[in-house]
Chains A and B, each alone.
Chain A
Amino acid sequence: MNLDIIESILFATIIAGTPLIIVALGQLIAEKSGVLNLGAEGMMAMGAVAGFAVTFHTGNPWLGVLAGMVAGALMSLLFAVVVLTLMGNQVATGLALSIFGGGLSAFVGKPYESEVLEAVPTLRIPLLADIPVIGPSLFNQQPLVYLAWALFGGIVWFLYKSRSGLLLRAVGESPSSAHSIGYPVIRIRYMATLFGGAMAGVGGSFLSVFYTPLWVEGMVAGRGWIAIALVVFATWRPFRVLVGAYLFGGVMVAQFFVQGSGLDINIPSQFLSSLPYLATIIVLVIISRDQNTVRLNAPVSLGQSYRPDA
């Protein structure tokens, strides 16, 4: 195996993992506040179609990402009103949002199905990109790849180093305690949910503007669900989300390379295709097998409605 192949596997791995990281980290923040939004798939679809449409009309992919962010946030606002203000069931509402987003995006996106966007060029970081092998694959990437890393850094700092992050976790652990000492539980949950939606929208727009520059109904193809599962298997820890997402992307790409290489191995392609799922689950379960850390990191009030006493 020569270095070129390692380089292109690494490059593709980073790209494949990026939308998962962005969406999963957004979901992680929402879930840390105690809100379980299963609508990621629908929010991503809306982000994808909004991102595509705006990029198509303006020619500016960044406006597209912004549009995707707004679309995702609006979808999650709808969800937040139902579950936080009207006290609807989070699981049922999230599932409905997922289906609704799929349908609405198809409807809105009808006129864009035959359109094509130009591919966005990669952004090369000087010096770092000159490192052999990892340089070109890590530092000559789609701009959103760097954004995902920045998002990761920001979230780690926010959750574990900032006062607001502590507050967010407190709300997710025990909304009644947080409320009793005077914190606006519902408002914090609103903000966390909107952030989760916005990130799902960005992840969606990454798919339709950067990853495969096209819009087709159903193009999210289950990535929203994978992101949600990733958060759970990563036991709500940002670093494990990062590892899980790249592992998933990496195994996916690697098995494509194995298939295309013509190596004389007798493994059915169906098994190879399921490897990314298997590998990610096994690795994350193993690194998260300590029951105490799971209990420590899982937000206790996840999925439960909370109505503050007046």
Chain B
Amino acid sequence: MVIENKLVKKLATTTLIVLASLFSATSMAAQDITIGFVYVSPIGDAGWTYQHDLGRLEMEKNTGVTTKYVENVPEGPDAERVIREMAKRGDKVIFATSFGYMNPMLKVSKQFPDTAFVHATGYKMGKNMGLYNARFYEGRYLTGVIAGEVTKSNVLGYVAAFPIPEVLQGINAFIQGARSVNPKAELRVIWVNSWFDPGKERQASMTLMSQGADVITHHTDSTAVVQAAEERGKYAFGYHSDMSKYGSTAHLTAATHHWGNYYTKVVKAAIAGNWKPENVWGGYKEGMIKLAPLNPSLPAELRNRIASMEKQLTAGTLHPFAGPVVDQDGKIRVVAGETMSDGDLSGMDYYVEGVVSKL
């Protein structure tokens, strides 16, 4: 009897809790739920943060929740304060969209166990902190294929920010793509050591073009590279966003990021109460990576080929780092028949064959 009584009590309380949570769920309209976003730079009109903001708007439309964002948040103590404020006001999910928010977010996440924290591009997870990132290199590979086809000088140029694995993946995927169709192609890389400095980015572009590059691209955050190519009558690829309006002739396409689907998924899960921290590294398959519309000047045959490669990337049958992958010094990094593991990708610290600059 005693045992039964306990069971009944337990059942009763559980029912009560379930009822209460149901009640609160129904009484709380979607627009009362707030979701916070922390941005590292101003939203602007193109670039990394702009793409996250497009994702935020798409998610808001899909779910009906209220979103709030703070832009231009420096990585460090300021970020901790912003994230804590969002958690305090009761945001259900908080998205932090830059690498340097990792430690501040981890710290705050421990103090607010009921809030879902999601951090982009980092590597530390927590009990209530998930990770997401995109396989940017998949888009890069396709732009490389186009570059290899259109280049006449066989010299390609790349303006890059900092030599970290994510940037190196992009550089290496680009030249892998180019050399898959044009084994004579070579790539020159200039590091500007800044994520955002239009003046330096332009200077580096001009340098690359005067060293013979006729197709250039960049892993920095302004549109200066595309503009410089347009001025000199050369070709360029945008990055992060479609940058065609900054150079309608030069802009062949852009490797763009799309976060809307993922944000929608996370927020829906959090509202339903079944969100779990995950480590998501999505690419073509997850819809996180796409190419911007191809320049109309590109031949139909190439467009078709790119379209079918996009399908292969989605299906997982094409891998930009399928063996053999040989590095700059001739060392074999992936043997024929295999593809590079995610672990090796995340630790990439070398140039592959075809890059003539040195690290």
Contacts and interface: CB of A to CB of B under 8 A. Distances in A.
Contact of B190 (A211, A213, A260): A260
Nearest to B192: A273
B222 interface: yes
B346 interface: no
B343 to A, nearest CB: 25
Contacts of A257: 207, 211
A181 interface: no
Interface residues of B, number: 41
A266 B157 CA distance: 20
Contacts of A218: 41-42, 196
Contacts of B208: 260
A223 interface: yes
Nearest to B224: A212
Contacts of B202: 211-212
Contacts of B279: none
Nearest to A270: B193
Interface string B193-204: 110111111111
Nearest to B46: A114
A214 B186 CA distance: 30
B192 A114 contact: no
A106 B72 CA distance: 11
Interface in B174-199: 186, 188-194, 196-199
B199 A213 contact: no
Contacts of B200: 221, 252
A172 to B, nearest CB: 32
B356 A262 contact: yes
Nearest to A211: B199
B191 A269 contact: yes
Nearest to A273: B193
Interface stretch (A4-12, A124-132, A285-293, A294-302): A4-12
Nearest to A266: B358
A264 B328 CA distance: 12
Contacts of B157: 260
Given A5-B210, A12-B207, A260 B198 contact: no
Contacts, number: 108
A253 B189 contact: no
Nearest to B188: A260
B13 interface: no
Contacts of B224: 212, 214
Given A207-B199, A260-B190, A266-B358, A217 B42 contact: yes
Given A8-B210, A214-B223, A260-B208, A223 B199 contact: yes
B357 A260 contact: yes
Instruction: Give the interface size bracket for A toward B.
Output: 35 or more
B90 to A, nearest CB: 29
B193 A269 contact: yes
Contacts of A217: 42, 44
B191 A273 contact: yes
Contacts of A272: 191
Nearest to A272: B191
A93 interface: no
B281 interface: no
B245 A114 contact: yes
Contacts of A263: 358
A256 interface: yes
B245 to A, nearest CB: 7
A256 B190 contact: yes
Given A114-B245, A223-B199, A260 B211 contact: yes
Contacts of B199: 16, 207, 211-212, 219, 221, 223
B85 interface: no
Given A12-B206, A219-B199, A270-B193, A119 B231 contact: yes
Contact of B198 (A4, A219, A252): A219
B72 to A, nearest CB: 8
23 contacts: A12-B203, A16-B199, A106-B42, A119-B231, A207-B199, A212-B199, A214-B198, A214-B224, A214-B227, A216-B196, A218-B196, A252-B200, A252-B203, A260-B157, A260-B188, A260-B189, A260-B190, A260-B207, A260-B208, A261-B211, A263-B358, A268-B359, A269-B191
Interface of A: 4-5, 8, 12, 16, 106, 113-114, 116, 119, 207, 211-214, 216-219, 221, 223, 252-253, 256-257, 259-266, 268-270, 272-273
Closest 8 CB pairs of A and B: A262-B356, A269-B191, A273-B193, A114-B45, A221-B197, A8-B210, A256-B207, A212-B198
Given A5-B211, A273-B192, 20 more contacts: A16-B199, A119-B231, A207-B199, A212-B199, A214-B246, A216-B198, A218-B196, A221-B197, A223-B199, A256-B192, A256-B203, A256-B204, A257-B207, A259-B188, A260-B213, A260-B357, A263-B358, A265-B358, A269-B193, A273-B193
